[in-house]
Structure 1
Amino acid sequence: MEPLYFDKVENKLCRAGKIVQITPKAASVLICLLDRPGEIVSKDHILDHVWHGLHVTEDLVREYIFDLRTAIGDDAKEPAYIETVRGKGFRLIGKVIETALDGPNVQGPRASPQDQTPNLAVLRPIVHGDLHTIGDRFAEAVIAGLVSHKYMEIVSRQSSFAVDPTRELSQVAGELNAQYFLESSVARLDSRTQISVHLIDGQSDHHVWADRFELVDDGEVELLAAKVVNAISGWQGELHLAEYKQGTRKPPQTLSAFEHFIRGCDLELNFDTESVKRSLAHLDRSLELDPNFPRCLVMKAIMLQWSYDVYAQKDPFILEESAAAMAKAFILNPRDPLISALIALQRAREGDLAGALESLEHAVQTCHGDADACVCVATSLCVISGDFSRARDMFDLALRLNPLPPGWYRFVEARIRFFFGDYARSVAASRSGPQRVSAIIYRCLSHVMLEDHAAARTAYHDLQTRYPGFAFDFYANYFPIVAKEARAHYDNAVERLFQNALQNEDATPI
């Protein structure tokens, strides 16, 4: 049996030359066992020494024992280091050596992806009056929604609900290993129920985000919880914004895989060559640190497609690399509705329409609490199945779930409104978000359908200036627009553009 090396100052474990970071609480549990090697250490003893003064359950001890075993590759059924003595506690049976693990010759992988992502604790709501049932329903729905988003680790309900609300959160943060807290309160205001929500940085005690909601009907609790979840956890959500700001203040070499991913999403993306290259560099570094990070692979696939649009040299390998990244993301997490909606586009592009429709239907059935996924599903419904009405409904659902959406929703909306025939709203949406290629395409084609040829010409020249070498036919084939009605609608608008708006110009249909 190889010895296990433990640095209790840096909270690091090393086995077989591999180093992993563990949480401060997991380190404290290990220290309890290390103080009494070979002896049975009861759960009560661990609870008293690690969570002294806190009312937490024995389940928390088991969770951290599980984390320790995972970190060192120990098997609970055939343990080499930590033995479970049923009904009594745990015993350290392996050799553990305390040492510093920060020397120049000690190398190992970074912490696991779970340790790199921010941890959030949803505290039990502060309830005024007889609203405890609503408060608990709300908090539990928020926890369930956040867990499904995979953007962060959520502290167990038992631990977060046990927090004493009178204590300083900066003290509790270390005990729960939580970077962020979600506080809420429920009160009656006349005949309405009011829920206030606060996202707090656990280290600084600063409020990151706050909002207030009113319930006219108690049946809206789950919808309200979904709004909070999407406001916090989606791409460019409040936690994304907070992590992005913190990451910009750190030296690049200290960033974790998750922090590089956040930087790679580039909240200030200008869709030019330099910003796309900068984003791709962060995404590549994130995947070096964590090769099995599904949403980072998705973002890389999307960013590679965008790079093909903005790069003057059109290298087909870029699109092949994008497809490979998306395929790997789907293998790693085939249940993610956002990934399913995007892999549907890829399958349609490759000529597998049956596979595309199957993936799309899975996404439709599973996306209803995730606003970002609803937006991607709406896109795929338009161009793969040609179900414009359902696409519009899905996009409207995304706006209900996320009433203050990020800018990228708008160039998707421009596409959806065009196919639905709502050209004025397509134009408005295209102007209110980032000037991604699709925003300008559908602004141009919507102006054509509105017979505003001067505005169509302006949009067309903007498209050619921003994206040299753009071709309408290539875009439709690659995107792809495979639904017959959608393709006919698109081709008709392109034909009208060149026959009417550009009839006196030296322009060839492309």
Structure 2
Amino acid sequence: MGNGALAIGPKLPRPSSTLPSLTLGLIGHRPVFLLNWLRFPGPRCVLSERVERRLAAVLAADVAGYSRLMTTDEEGTLARLKAVRKAIVDPAIASYRGRIVKTTGDGMLVEFASAVDAVRNAVEVQRRMAEQNAAVPQDQRIEFRIGINVGDIIFDDNDIFGDGVNVAARLEGIAEPGGVCMSDDAYRQVRGKVDIAYDDMGPQPLKNIAEPMRAWRVRLTGQTSSVVQSDSAVSQHQTLPLPDKPSIAVLPFQNMSGDPEQDYFADGIVEDIITALSRFKTLFVIARNSSFTYKGRAVDVKQVGRELGVRYVLEGSVRRAANRVRITGQLVDTAAGAHLWANRFDGGLGDIFDLQDQVTESIVGAIAPAVEKAEIERAKRKPTESLDAYDHYLRGLASSYRITNRQANEEALRFFNKVIKLDPGFASAYGRAALCYAWAKTNGWISFTPTEIAKVKKLAQRAVELGKDDVIALAASGYTLAFVARDLGGGAALIDRALAFNSNWAEAWFWGGWVKNWLGEPEAAIERFARAIRLNPLDPSISGVRAGLSHAHFFLGHYDEAVSWAAVALQDNQDFQPALRMEAASGAMAGRSEQAHQALLRLRQMNPTLRVSNLKDLLGPYRRAEDISRYEEGLRRAGLPE
């Protein structure tokens, strides 16, 4: 034995089962108890070697569909796999200081000293594999599934064992082909250190692992958020019950134009169908952002129904060529997988709104025949007669859904301003333009002078004048007037009016939640945020809802819940200042000093002039003075100077 270790007792043959035991031994001149494993059968003393343990990041990988590939082309598959290993996999592992522990026919086990290195290695491999597979037929692609865990491992004869290894292997089993799945322990090690987005998969039942384990999916370039299921069943965490009225999700329509630049047009068609359907109080309509998490993926409508909690799914495609457009659609019952309705609509671009009317009316007729004619006529209402203005509105929407930085926000505002210039009667464009200013204020991208505030108020007021029954115009204007112009009463009334008109629009519930926070009604705010999440359960930009929930719990004195919601909000956008402020304030009040201090450091890096004295300029129009005082006290305890 090495290192001067001595244990007493005869050595036994290697058994099939093990039990832990302590034996007395020596290290140097000191007597110690050594943990070893009694090998049964037979009650004997044991000569044991000291077990070498260490904490490591373990990566397990295999080839999805390997048996099928081998059956189809054994020699070709082996040759392609060998080439991939040589060109992509092995160099990446070496680059990130990994050690290949062992390989099997279609997989490998790799050890890293750092979870960051393990994740970066996995992402590089999967991205390069995706690039290489782009020109390869689907049935011939070599696609890896990768699982990553951080845990205590046993090192023996250049091999590794233990739960740290087993969990990585099980996580690889629930990863998507071309995807990466990691444990919660690994996620905590890489959060904030690797510029990658993650999706919370919730507790996952893993084979031969006693308790469900929380898992995270790495969102690679080009991927959208999704819910991943275990092999055995959909976990309870991921399954949503059906509402008590007809429910529908409209999935992204496929762009058949052959030009990726036309994606915005297909997306805009779906946006309009969702908006039209959501006006029907007899329907439960999933919001656009959750539906669009399925964009670019082949989907199982039964799984979509479980994940979104809907009875019906609408799929379709849009083909635009010259001045002609073709829209196809099919309605599917998610429980039975049966097609209930399918149709095709052809026309010139000048008739685009008539085509959308036909699609919407046909869908409603298939799933809710009792809907009154007046509601159908309302759904047909055209947003504008100007095709140029409408085209720019769609482009502005496409930009607004990608708002993660100042440049994207400014691009969206330019599009909406152009819409207003082309069609001064387009109510929703005014509301969307006003929202761009609200988002700029949220992130501290602009200092609002009285002139700027007057401009925002004018946009919002014009939206309301033009769109007396337009949910987008009403709710967006109400939120902006409350937040930017600090007209809390007027803004709250507009959002309530919008919700009375259309209770299916998730954003209206979201903005209404913030208004309830400002009014000093945190319980009502939590209810509204919960409704927003239910209508939009897979929204990849849901950080605003989570930040709102953290504020509501903070004002209720639930500091642990508040800091937890703030931390979850920062998973989507680590620079989201409302969430950072709340992580600092609630963390300090909950006694989590280090977490609060780190959040405040990040906050002050982004805004060096931040002080307790100027905090009110950034916060919303809180009606209760005690709410502002509590906010200031939390940040003061976190270390914010006066």
- Normalising by structure 1, report the TM-score: 0.48
Which of structures 1 and 2 has the larger relative contact order (alpha carbons within 8 angstroms, sep 6+)?
1
Higher-helix-fraction structure: 1
Report which of the two structures shows the higher radius of gyration computed on alpha carbons.
2
- Normalising by structure 2, report the TM-score: 0.39
